[in-house]
């Protein structure tokens, strides 16, 4: 199955990766102007959905909690991807990762409750979570 990953700014910072791997000097100076490079996830997702033509679009980049996931799903993402919120728990144990995922799901369910949405399809019919400039 094909899909599009609309990975927006806020996820893995390749600027920081390059900076850390390059150390000091010319390479660091070259990487610095790109520190704020990127399109916000909500905008990236919205743009991808306009051309996806039936292909599922996954939102990633800056998804940190259940509210972020709800926003992406409300815009129309078929799924969300996240890594950063799970990295720290992964250094502890599988149980810590499971606990973080359970917390994320609770945040998502609470967000649905707060906007009066019984499920993800109802969430997609709401407009109170997203402001795309």
User: How confident is the prediction for the chain on average, in pLDDT?
Assistant: 86
CA 45, 50, 34 angle in degrees (round to 5)? 40
Range 38-57 average pLDDT = 92
| pLDDT at residue 55, rounded to an integer | 95
The class (CATH top level) of 4-124 is alpha beta
DSSP conformation letters of 60-96: ESS--SHHHHHHHHHHT-SEEE--HHHHHHHTT-HHH
Q: Report the percentage of the chain scoring pLDDT > 90.
A: 56
CB of 64 closer than 8 Å to CB of 81 = no
Whether 45 shows a pLDDT value over 90: the answer reads yes
State yes or no: pLDDT of 133 exceeds 50: no
Q: What is the pLDDT of residues 92-126, one digit of tens each?
A: 999 999 999 999 999 999 999 999 999 999 999 88
């Amino acid at each position: 199955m094909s899909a599009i990953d609309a990975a927006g700014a806020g996820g893995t910072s390749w600027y920081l990766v390059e900076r850390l791997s390059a150390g000091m000097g010319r390479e660091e100076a070259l990487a610095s102007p790109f520190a704020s490079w990127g399109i916000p996830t909500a905008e990236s997702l919205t743009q991808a959905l306009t051309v996806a033509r039936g292909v599922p679009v996954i939102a990633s980049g800056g998804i940190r909690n259940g509210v972020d996931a709800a926003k992406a799903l409300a815009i129309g993402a078929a799924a969300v991807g996240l890594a950063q919120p799970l990295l720290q728990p992964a250094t502890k144990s599988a149980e810590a990762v499971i606990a973080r995922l359970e917390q994320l799901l609770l945040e998502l369910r609470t967000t649905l409750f707060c906007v009066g949405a019984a499920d993800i399809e109802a969430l997609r019919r709401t407009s109170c979570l997203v402001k795309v400039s």
